[in-house]
Structure 1
Amino acid sequence: MSAKPDIVMIVTDQQRYDTIRSLGASHMDTPNLDRLAERGVTFSNCHVTAPSCVPCRASLFTGYYPHTNGVLANGQEWSKTWVSKLRDAGYHTVNIGKMHTIPYDAPAGFDERYVVENKDRYYEGRWFFDEWDKALAAQGLKKQQREEYRKRDDYRTSLGAFTWDLPAHLQSDNFVGGMTRWWLETKPLDKPLFLVVGFPGPHPPYDPTPDYAEKYMKRDVPLPEVSDAELEQLPPPFVEKRHHDVEVDHDSVAWDLQPTRDQLHRMRAYYYANVEMIDREVGEILNALEAAGRLGNAIIIFTSDHGDCLGDHGLSQKWAPYEEVTRVPLIISAPQRFEGGRDVDELVQLFDLGPTILEWAGIEPDESFEAESLNPALEGKPFEGRTHVYCEQGKDVNLTGAEYLTMVRSRSHKLVHFAGKEFGQLFDLDADPKEKRNLWDDPAYAAVKQELKEQMLEWYVQSTLRTKNVRKRTVVPLAEPA
């Protein structure tokens, strides 16, 4: 097709890979995501470059690893993106919902932004009144959040799972979906569209409306199986994180070191209910695109910025680069452009979407990009993917026990390195896909451990060479000779 496509990029927050029925999650009802997968291309081994929101999104929208763009933890400033290249190429660029730029309302290359940030708080004194806050306030309401949840008798046992008890259309994911439909219905365009829809869920608090919560509470859902032996093998930063998450209720999740099966069931049921609510909104967005006459020439992307442990490995939320956190769904659907119903199992990284999207718009990606185009795979050409994927995280509000960690993962093994420490993690993913046995100190795996360490070193070296001209440098000119 010759016309530039409309590009609609739907990004959830903290959605695990194992939450889409057609991709193997039999406990889920996700008919609209199933339809995307059946008509599109699924990248079933897509991994994020950072196990938390802000550094992952900064990496996604810049094309560089966190250590290159300097955004290693939540709260760090970033706003320059490749989106401006699309705007310069004639696209109308729109963001509705969560984007996690710092500052939150930075233009970031968009012609229009309708910002919705985290569900439960006012960012610890860094006041920001977003579109969702305004909509609630206009009806004399304010969002459910920690200050209110803490008044509940069951707060310390709920693990962040609470029903949304205000009007259903004002629940954050419903609100973002509704605003997206409103935009598509009321904003005619005579130019191609780049639309990023950022759903706040299923990030905690896990807050489905009561009808969806009830549906999943009646279901058997997968629950974590964590042994004492696994907990004893956790590296010190993750042990510290477990205790920190009990003492500090980030995102309205008051963690429990020994949650009951009933607690875990409620948390996961509410999380899965949040996912199905998002699935419904995705379907409504697709319908709105079709009604606006934009679906036929559109490329639809569905993905998430990272996953959630949900109690796996005894941990809450993210920051630890287990598969439940680093592996995310990635579906690209454009039946008139790419043959659908295919699964690409090669290793790829989430930020590879950057150059892929730019090429759709006829833009040559910057040669310094560390992200790599997925278009050969989409077009059915030979595609080997990556031999290794990487993930990195700096010290953060929930990761207080480590200054910096780096994950390197091959098809068969994963290593997690903690800067300046003798301990670490090593997993044989073929023999132990659930990552329960840490082989860091096992002499039988010494060669594998060394090989992955050397791979990580080479990655840093090659990254430095590739991006040597990315950062601006101040050069003081030599004085003219007298």
Structure 2
Amino acid sequence: MTSATESTAPKRPNILLIITDQQRFDTIRAHGHAHMDTPNLDRLAQEGVSFSQCHITAPSCVPSRASLFTGYYPHVTGVMENEQDWSKTWVSDLRASGYTCVNVGKMHTNPFLAEAGFDERFNVENKDRYLQGRHYLDEWDKALAAHGLIKQQREHYRKRDDYGQRLGAFEWKLPAALHSDTFVGNFAKFWLETKPNASPLFMQIGFPGPHPPYDPTPELAEKYMAKDNIPMPVDSDEDRAGQPSYLEEKRQHDAQVDHDSILWNPDRTPEDERRMRAYYYANVEMIDTSVGEIMQALERNGYMDDTVVIFTSDHGDCLGDHGLSQKWSMYDVVTRVPLIVWAPQRFCGGRSIDDLVQLFDLGPTILDLAGVASPADMEAQSLLPALTEQAYTPRQQVFCEQAGDMVMTGADFITMVRETRWKLVHLLGCDEGQLFDLEADPDERHNLWNDPVHDAEKTRLKDTLLEWLVASNFKTRDHMAEFR
């Protein structure tokens, strides 16, 4: 990355960047979702600044994270699908400017143990790593081994008679303290307790959940199964009939090949779907509890005087919406994620900003907070003016892109442009696509792609995509080689 330029500002804050994996935007009670119990995230929202329209730049883990930690779109980083290599980040600029940089939990770099700019990394990867570095032992594997235990995983779940009905939902039967999300939270607390006063501190905490398998403790699983307000999937024959064929191919693929301990059963019942969602939401509450304990550890160890806490996720999860499993699509339930910035001593809290922002905008925001200059051609935009209630120009569109991979087998490349009202999804080399009027159809059930009444909007948005791609390639022409 570029060399860091430290600001002359006398005080630079500690910064905690908490990233969950695959958490939908509708999973925080304070944001209006009564089926959730999230008192600690509610506190961050009530005392901090929420961005209600934060959208990712790629609908799968690796390209989304590579984009977030560089500030460039996936077509610039060259990381457009899972399994691709990436390790260069703006964290190295923070480190060069004097920050102590620590990662606890998931970053999802390839290779797993790449330095990625950090002074210290305590890596925890996916819960289920079938055929993905199976002989690689992360900190969580080692902790389980030290207790004479082997983690719950696909090879064992497959032995269950009801594997096809579970849809990735399984109780965590091992000790609660060794659940991946509890373990990551406890490890972060351990670091703060045993190495205090590392100031200024940048700590990235990566929770593996609620990414599948959806595996809460039995007590929380029971709690959420007993709730009578668990929202069920938004799905219909009309919705599916209007979808591009690559999504039907994905449905069929997911019913034949299990990914992340999910075999997507075409004969699933409403009760199967209800359990999947209940366990997912219960897993979010487990993370909420860990966030609360991390906040207490910050206070105990002298980090709260000037600390910025940022909470977000790398993408969402369909959870059966539109008849689909997981991500790899451009529906809002995948592309829209929670984003909260908490720093009562710096920013007026209790606010919600409804402008369109992109997840990778956190990169220049964090660099701004640290007094470190961003590259001139960085495509992400700092959110600091919005946080400090200064004048700024909001994004008019957000963009998202994904190349075909081992899961998304029916399309070579999909690209999304989304405005406040309109969304278009373009498929490379294909006459199919998606067009949604989000004002009339917020659940994205009615695809207007083939409706001649809306040809003008379709043409305008396709032109917008073309102009964005051309401008992006021109702007980053001297920088792209750094990611190769």
TM-score normalised by length of structure 1: 0.97
Question: In percent, how many aligned pairs have the same letter?
Answer: 62
**Aligned residue identity for 1:158:** R
Equivalent pairs counted in the alignment come to: 473
Alpha-carbon distance, 1:384 to partner: 3.5
In the alignment, the residues of structure 1 paired with residue 269 and residue 60 of structure 2 have an alpha-carbon distance, to the nearest angstrom, of 26
**What are the Cα deviations for residues 434-460 of structure 1, in whole angstroms up to 9, with x where unaligned?**
000000000000000000000000001
Query: 1:259 deviation in Å?
Result: 2.3
Q: C-alpha displacement at 1:318, in angstroms? A: 0.2
Please say which of residues 1-10 and 70-79 is displaced more in the overlay. Answer: 1-10
- 1:257–1:314 contact (8 Å) kept in structure 2: no
**Structure 1 segments unaligned to the other structure (5+ residues):** 474-482
- Between the aligned partners of 1:313 and 1:331, the Cα distance in structure 2 is 27
Indicate yes or no: 2:371 matched with 1:366.
no
* Distance apart, 1:127 and its partner CA: 2.9
What is the Cα deviation at residue 21 of structure 1?
0.1
Counterpart position of 2:322:
313
Mapped pair 1:40 → 2:48:
yes
Matched, 1:28 2:30: no
Cα distance in 2 between the residues matched to 1:149 and 1:120: 11
Match for residue 448 of structure 1 among 428, 432, 457? 457
State whether structure 2 residue 77 is matched by structure 1 residue 66: no
CA contact (8 A) 1:346 1:384 kept: no
Task: Report if aligned partners of 2:197, 2:301 keep a CA contact under 8 Å in 1.
Answer: no
1:19 to 27, 31, 41: 27
Q: What is the CA distance between 1:103 and its match in structure 2?
A: 0.3
Report matched runs for 1:413-428 at 5 Å.
Answer: 413-428=422-437
Deviation at 1:226, TM superposition (A): 1.3
| CA deviations over 1:55-83 (Å, ceiling 9, x no partner) | 00000000000000100000000000000
Residue in structure 2 matched with residue 411 of structure 1 by the alignment = 420
Counterpart position of 2:250: 241
Alignment of 1:201-350 (within 5 A): 201-220=209-228, 221-350=230-359
Mean Cα deviation higher: 231-240 or 82-91: 231-240
The residue type equivalent to 1:189 in the other structure is N
Q: Could you tell me which of 450, 458, 469 is aligned with 2:467?
A: 458
Change (3 A) 1:210 1:346: same
Mapped contact 2:123–2:139 kept (Cα < 8 A): yes
Query: CA offsets, 1:361-416, max 9 Å, x none?
Result: 11111111000000110000123421000000001121011111000001101000
Answer whether contact 1:64 1:369 (CA < 8 A) is retained: yes
CA contact (8 A) 2:197 2:302 kept: no
Q: Residue 52 of structure 1 corresponds to which residue in structure 2?
A: 60
Q: How many Å apart are 1:128 and its aligned residue?
A: 1.4
Shift of 1:2: 3.8
Residue in structure 2 matched with residue 438 of structure 1 by the alignment: 447
Residue among 97, 102, 105 paired with 1:89: 97
Q: How much does 1:147 deviate? A: 0.3
**Structure 2 counterpart of 1:476:** none
In structure 1, the residue matched to 2:200 is 192
| 1:177 counterpart residue number | 185
2:4 corresponds to which residue? none
Structure 1 counterpart of 2:56, one-letter code: V
Deviation of the 1:28 alpha carbon: 0.4
Q: Distance in 2 between matches of 1:188 and 1:432?
A: 50
| Contact 1:352–1:372, Cα closer than 8 Å, also in 2 | yes
Q: Distance in 2 between the 1:252 and 1:265 partners?
A: 17
Contact 1:122 1:128 in 2 (8 A): no
Give the C-alpha shift of residue 258 in structure 1.
Answer: 4.0
Change in Cα spacing, 1:368 to 1:134, as seen in structure 2 (3 Å) is same
Whether the 8 Å contact between 2:101 and 2:118 is mirrored in structure 1 is yes
In the alignment, the residues of structure 1 paired with residue 128 and residue 356 of structure 2 have an alpha-carbon distance, to the nearest angstrom, of 34
Task: Quote how far apart the aligned CAs of 1:295 are.
Answer: 1.4
Q: Secondary structure at the match of 1:99?
A: coil
On the 8 A contact 2:130/2:154 being kept in 1, the answer is no
1: distance between equivalents of 2:393 and 2:275? 41
Unaligned runs of 5+ residues in structure 2 are 1-8
CA distance in 1, matches of 2:37, 2:390: 33
Q: Is 2:150 aligned against 1:135? A: no
The Cα offsets for residues 289-340 of structure 1, whole Å up to 9 and x where unpaired, read as 0000101210000000000000000000001010000000000000000000
Residue 160 of structure 2: aligned partner: 152
Q: Secondary structure at the match of 1:44?
A: strand
